[in-house]
Amino acid sequence: MDSIYPLSKKLNFFVLSHPLMDTRKHVEVCFTPGEYDYYKDEYEIVVVIDVLRATSAICAAFDNGILSIIPVPTVEEAWEYKQKGFLAGAERKGQIVEGFDFGNSPFSYMREEFRGKEVVLTTTNGTKSLDVAKDAEIVVVGSFLNLDALSEWLSKQDKNVLCLCSGWQDKFNLEDTICAGAISEYLINTGNFVSEEDSSIAAKYLYLSAKDNYLGYLKSSSHRKRLKNLNLNEDIKYCLTPNQTRVIPILKNGKLVQLSED
């Protein structure tokens, strides 16, 4: 006599237990832009993260009505745009570059005169990561500010996801990794994603350790100290406060625009 289990249950068991039939997508974490070459071409979606402060500032900009942002990797490119009459910001090592009116503080973008405008931006780390990832099928911007909205959207895409941490001058940093870990943990918990890289496992456990108090956990982090020494503590608090917006910036034809919910 044949098994009492229906054929459908047998097939489901085979699919779930056979690694070649696993239809789950991958979500992985890349610690720095310098390591991106090891991951590229394997992921349809790249989430660029620079918590302190570029991607947080970009999210804040769209939340406050900016039309689009042109990210450029060098100060020279930003200056060329400025000479053409664009609103242009530049930051290096946490400070506004001489000759520019703003850098990457989220509060810089909360100005009425910026609403509906196009802005050019270059930063030490974040815009470099955007430039590195620009050829991916989909590039979106992630931060603690849009954490839930972004995670929910990613979970519906049925695509492989790479969280690209901007780090600090191509070195590992805690805040970007923790944010990447939060996104990864959300996606894995849907049951539709899996992680295999040690970097992703590390990011997950850093997130789980920090999730109840990001500000306290990152008290001794190098970049938080760096910004605090520049009297930017309010920026730090703002950037480490989750879910202040539901905007998702996406790179389209070299410009960041707000992702439509349609």
81 located within any domain: yes
Q: Is the pLDDT of residue 67 over 50?
A: yes
Q: Work out the mean pLDDT of the chain and round it to a whole number.
A: 91
The band of 20, judged by pLDDT with boundaries at 50, 70 and 90, is low
pTM: 0.90
Mean pLDDT of 92-118: 94
CATH number of residue 38's parent domain: 3.90.1560.10
Q: Over the stretch 208-221, which tens digit does the pLDDT of each residue have? A: 999 999 988 888 78
82 located within any domain: yes
212 located within any domain: yes
* Own/partner long-range contacts of 244-247 (Cβ < 8 Å, ≥24 apart): 244/60, 244/63, 244/145, 244/146, 245/59, 245/60, 245/62, 245/63, 245/145, 245/146, 245/149, 246/146, 246/148, 246/149, 247/59, 247/62, 247/63, 247/146, 247/149
Q: With pLDDT > 90 as the criterion, what percentage of the chain qualifies? A: 81
Query: In this predicted structure, what is the pLDDT of residue 154?
Result: 98
**Number of domain units in the chain:** 1
Query: In this predicted structure, what is the pLDDT of residue 227?
Result: 77
The band of 262, judged by pLDDT with boundaries at 50, 70 and 90, is low
The band of 225, judged by pLDDT with boundaries at 50, 70 and 90, is confident
Query: In this predicted structure, what is the pLDDT of residue 65?
Result: 97
Query: In this predicted structure, what is the pLDDT of residue 134?
Result: 97
Q: Is the pLDDT of residue 25 over 80?
A: yes
12 located within any domain: no
Range of the domain at 171: 24-258
Mean pLDDT of 137-151: 98
11 located within any domain: no
7 located within any domain: no
The band of 4, judged by pLDDT with boundaries at 50, 70 and 90, is very low
